[in-house]
Amino acid sequence: MKKLILAVLLLSNLLMVTPSSYAGTYAKTKYPIVLVHGLFGFDDLLWVDYFYKVPNALSRNGARVYVATVSPANATEVRGEQLLAYVQEVLAVTGAEKVNLIGHSHGGPTIRYVASVAPELVASASSVAGVNWGSPVADLVRAGIEPDSALEGIAKTIFDGFSNFLELITGSNPGELPTDTIAALEALTTERTLQFNAAYPEGMPSAYCANDGDLVGSNGVYYFSWSGGSTYTNVFDIADPALALTGLAFNESNDGLVSSCSSHLGYVLKDNYKMNHLDEVNQTFGIHHLFETDPVSVFVQQGNLLKQLGL
């Protein structure tokens, strides 16, 4: 019954929008959108280019967009507390009542933390390839950096692939933000994400790969997710070879670092877009052929969905 009422409300809301009102306002959400980067993604000099062209597209379509600054590598709760402080200040500066959070990769659990401990400040939490149920790559890399560990064969290949991936995206400069790489890696292991899910369960499906996460969590926050399901996508993409290697850690659909199933949170918009882990945020320099998904369009459509829901 609750779902029916919700559906009617949603439909009523949709019908209120006339086509003529879309011009330049297609993604004009009620609440500001805050984008949250993933592991190692943030360089305090080049923060502007992490979600490449996404703020431009959302802003062009009427959204007010913030790119949050949290530690490039740290425990989820540490990043979450940093994000919470940022959100509180965004609300103070704008006078808005809530924000719409969109987090990529480790940004997924990060936004979930904020939505869980401060739901009164969060209208929605959209997880893009969120590491919501761990990553075999993190499991393997974490094992690989244990003293006396000896990786062999395929495990070594995956470890090397991840190292190459890190090499490509490093240059990350945390500025004054505290960094703890081991804590970050641990946070993304399957074991730790399960602990995290038990403490902050809102929006999570009942089992790995299940599709039954609540659209509206028990805390009143809307939850969404989407992710890519490809590793090698584009000859222009410098990260493809590295992600093709890390993809070997999976025996299921994945984007090179996160499995489609692990990305599930709340309402799963789609879990196998033709994108790898960096394509999802339009890296690098966002070149897409017809057989890939244009990630910027996905963000803009999500903006429109949030707008239609009155968020």
- Choose between 154 and 199: whose C-beta lies nearer to other proteins: 199
Nearest by Cα to 111 from 46, 54, 196, 186: 196
Which span (122-130, 135-143, 149-157, 231-239) binds other proteins, by CB under 8 A? 231-239
Structure tokens at 88: 């509180």
What's the rounded Cα separation, in Å, for the pair 16 and 227?
30
Tally of CB atoms within 10 A around 252: 11
Closest CA to 275 of 251, 302, 299: 299
Q: How far is the CB of 199 from other proteins (least distance, A)?
A: 7
User: 36, 40, 42, 55: which one contacts other proteins (CB under 8 A)?
Assistant: 55
Which residues within the stretch 181-210 sit at the binding site for other proteins (CB under 8 A)? 183, 199
Binders in 14-33 for other proteins, by CB under 8 A = 14-19, 22-24, 26, 32
Positions 117 through 156 that interact with other proteins (CB under 8 A): 117-119
Of residues 105, 116, 230, 262, which has the active-site annotation?
105
Site for other proteins in 87-106 (CB under 8 A): 88-95
- Out of 37, 106, 277, 288, the active site residue is 277
Task: Give the nearer residue to other proteins in terms of CB position, either 140 or 279.
Answer: 279
Binding part of the chain for other proteins, among 48-56, 99-107, 152-160, 243-251 by CB under 8 A, reads 48-56
> Nearer to other proteins by C-beta: 88 or 157?
88
How many residues of this chain bind other proteins (CB under 8 A)? 99
- Assess whether 277 carries a catalytic annotation: yes
Q: What is d(CA 257, CA 74) in angstroms, rounded to the nearest whole number?
A: 17
Per CB under 8 A, contacts with other proteins among 149-178 are 168, 171, 173
If one asks whether residue 305 binds other proteins (CB under 8 A), the answer comes out as yes
- Half-sphere exposure (CA, 13 Å, Cβ side) for 305? 18
Pick the binder of other proteins from 194, 220, 236, 252 (CB under 8 A). Answer: 236
**Which range touches other proteins (CB under 8 A), out of 6-14, 99-107, 144-152, 153-161?**
6-14
The residues that are catalytic are 105, 255, 277
